Amino acid sequence: MSVSVLQIVESWGGWSLIDDGKPSLWFPEREKALEIAHIMADARNLFGGISTIVQSVHNGKVEVLAKY
């Protein structure tokens, strides 16, 4: 069973969405980055059957926000 990880990481004065270790999207606001990460994770789980974890990385600390 594969597991996908979406991370929201502070970068360049905004927030990057890292999709399984690869930079994917950049957002000026953290809330928008989180909204898209949750939508992507939910869709992967519902339509692809892929378990997905949403994490936030801030000041070197990793926080698990949701598991789908």
Segment 44-67, tens digit of pLDDT: 999 989 999 999 998 889 999 999
pLDDT > 70: what percent of the chain? 99
Sign of CA dihedral 39, 40, 42, 46: positive
pLDDT value, residue 10: 93
Tell how far CA 49 is from the center of its chain: 17
Residues 6+ away with beta carbon under 8 Å from 25: 16, 17, 33, 36
